[in-house]
Chain A
Amino acid sequence: MTFDLRDLYQEVIVDHNRNPKNFGKMENATRVAEGYNPLCGDKLHLYLKTDNDRIDDVSFDGTGCAISVASASLMTEALKGKTFSEAEQIFRDFHKLVTQDVSLQDSTMQQLGKLAVLAGVREFPTRVKCATLCWHTLHSILEGTETTVSTE
């Protein structure tokens, strides 16, 4: 066997699951979207505060497995201060990381930073959806297909 459970459940992931970063509803969010995985019941809300096309602040809440919670937590850390197009690029790279069995370029891995701990998901195809749920939710916001929170 070439993979180990610890490749999937790395300490970083377990920690982020236990104490997720940027967890909680954002009261003055400018954009909100809901992500839902009907198969396992994972549900999350993503809150963004944006300034034109820059993400100033981001948080999430909801319930899900360790992979989906840790992924969302790591995502929020990675997104702060990024422009929409930078965020989309990270999503594309991240998607490659968790779905394709090719080594990514060093520069890409550097860009991904801590997100790289989720690479183990690649060996567990049924869990890819868990790792990408938050990113798809983000994507819906960036594409403008989400429900926008009114400031009222």
Chain B
Amino acid sequence: MTSALKIDSTPLRLDVEKLRADFPILQQRVNGRPLVYLDNAATTQKPVQVITSQDQYYREYNSNIHRGVHTLSSKATAAFEQARSRVRTFIHAASDKEIIFVRGATEAINLVAQSYGRSRLGQGDEIIISEMEHHSNIVPWQLLCEQTGAILKVIPINDDGELIMDEYAKLLGEKTAMVAVTHISNALGTINPVRQIIEMAHAHAAVVLIDGAQAAPHTGIDVQSLDCDFYVFSGHKLFAPTGIGVLYGRQHLLDSMPPYQGGGDMIRMVSFAKTLYSDLPYKFEAGTPNIAGVIGLGAAIDYLDAIGMDAIAQYEHKLLGYATSAVKAVPGLKIIGTARDKTSILSFTLEGIHPHDLGTILDYDGIAIRTGHHCAMPVMEHFHVPATARASLAFYNTSGEIDYFIQSLHKAREIFR
């Protein structure tokens, strides 16, 4: 009781109706009903501030960066580098050099696996991941294992969808070279104890990558305080455009790694005898990047900073609590993922109704949820389900939308009675 009171009395409040007005897409009707967008873990909607930044870039200063002396090019370059600084402050990195722009979390993980992993790991070295990883934090490591002879180890989860930390402790050892774990599970909503995971890995001199694809939109991130070596996330899940993402890497690690791709922008001097690479971060940014995307990411971070990540986290925590109690009252509904520490994701099954059918029925009411395996097939296997339905929240969702969603679940039960 007392802790609930404490939360309520904090001054962090969101004016959700006002924020919703920033999202043009939320104003529309789908199948004749107001859109209720509950698929935020797949991708988030974009506020008008982000959309405008794209329009402005293409209308007013579209040009290539880092290579022109003309006005537009220097304007674009400045905006691009300013966005990099915005990302640095957003995740509390020490230097802009540690912020590498990539296509998304997937590319960031592949970059680390292929550049760091391939140059450092060998036969018998061990890579630890977890049972709750997204396929994009499984497959790049499997590829690396095939290439190097390294061995993949998997931290199991319990039936609440939490990592079994004792098992993690047992997996760590002299051979552990790399630990790659998600900060928040996209299929379960579990918030992992990443600080502890990192500390334990470092005690064995292993390097840690944290997949922050689901964490960046919901919690404040401080890579220095976490003491992680690599942190990755995608812009499109953070209210920014698709096709842009971030790899954070500790400077001394990035410095020691070979380039991932070769091309323009990542070189200092090219001759046929020898090529010198650029300094960080450009060494890892070959070719013309997604300039508009980077600018959009900067705009999204400005937008989020103005609201405050703490206020967002607090609001979403309450909304998840509301949604969780509400769905528990639906007969036959089983929540998949009941970790003590979780956020914004409600994965579930409804007895006698396949998630796919549920998805169609809800869509008919204008409600967008995700159904399927959520690119986390090992999680589905753990819970012995072929698929789940998943409602995933953002700060623009409301308790009214949750009520409407529950009504639609009852309608589905009626159809399948």
CA distance A126 to B415 in the complex (A): 19
Q: Is the CB of A63 within 8 A of B386?
A: yes
Describe B's contact surface by its main secondary structure. Answer: mixed
**Cβ contact within 8 Å between A40 and B415:** no
- Are A14 and B416 closer than 8 Å at their CB atoms? yes
- A sample of 6 more A-B contacts (CB under 8 A), given A41-B373, A67-B357, A130-B356, is A5-B360, A5-B364, A14-B415, A39-B372, A41-B387, A64-B386
Q: In whole Å, how far is A130's beta carbon from the nearest beta carbon of chain B?
A: 7
Which residues of A in the span 41-73 have a Cβ within 8 Å of any Cβ on B?
A: 41-43, 63-67, 69
A43-B356 Cα distance, complex, nearest whole Å: 13
- The 30 sampled A-B contact pairs (Cβ below 8 Å) are A1-B31, A1-B32, A5-B360, A5-B361, A5-B364, A6-B415, A8-B360, A9-B357, A9-B361, A9-B415, A9-B416, A14-B416, A18-B352, A40-B356, A40-B371, A40-B372, A41-B373, A42-B356, A42-B386, A43-B386, A64-B354, A64-B356, A65-B356, A66-B353, A66-B357, A67-B356, A124-B360, A126-B360, A127-B360, A130-B356
Residue tally, chain B, CB below 8 Å to A: 19
The answer to whether the Cβ of B304 comes within 8 Å of any Cβ in the partner chain is: no
Number of interface residues of A (CB under 8 A): 23
Tell me which residues from 393 to 417 in chain B have a Cβ below 8 Å from any Cβ of chain A: 415-416
Which residues of B approach A to under 8 Å, CB–CB? Answer: 31-32, 352-357, 360-361, 364, 371-373, 380, 386-387, 415-416
Task: Pick the residue among B31, B353, B387 that contacts A40 (CB under 8 A).
Answer: B387
B residues near A65, Cβ cutoff 8 Å: 354-357
Residues of A within 8 A of B372 (CB): 39-41
Which residues of A line the B interface, CB within 8 A? 1, 5-6, 8-9, 14, 17-18, 39-43, 63-67, 69, 124, 126-127, 130
Using Cβ atoms and an 8 Å threshold, which residues of chain A touch B373?
41
CB of B9 to closest CB in A, whole Å: 45
Residues of B within 8 A of A9 (CB): 357, 361, 415-416
Residue of A nearest to B352 (CB): A18
In the complex, A130 Cα to B42 Cα: how many Å?
22
CB distance from A60 to the nearest CB of B (A): 16
CB distance from A41 to the nearest CB of B (A): 4
Most buried by B among A1, A66, A69, A130: A66
CB distance from B347 to the nearest CB of A (A): 14
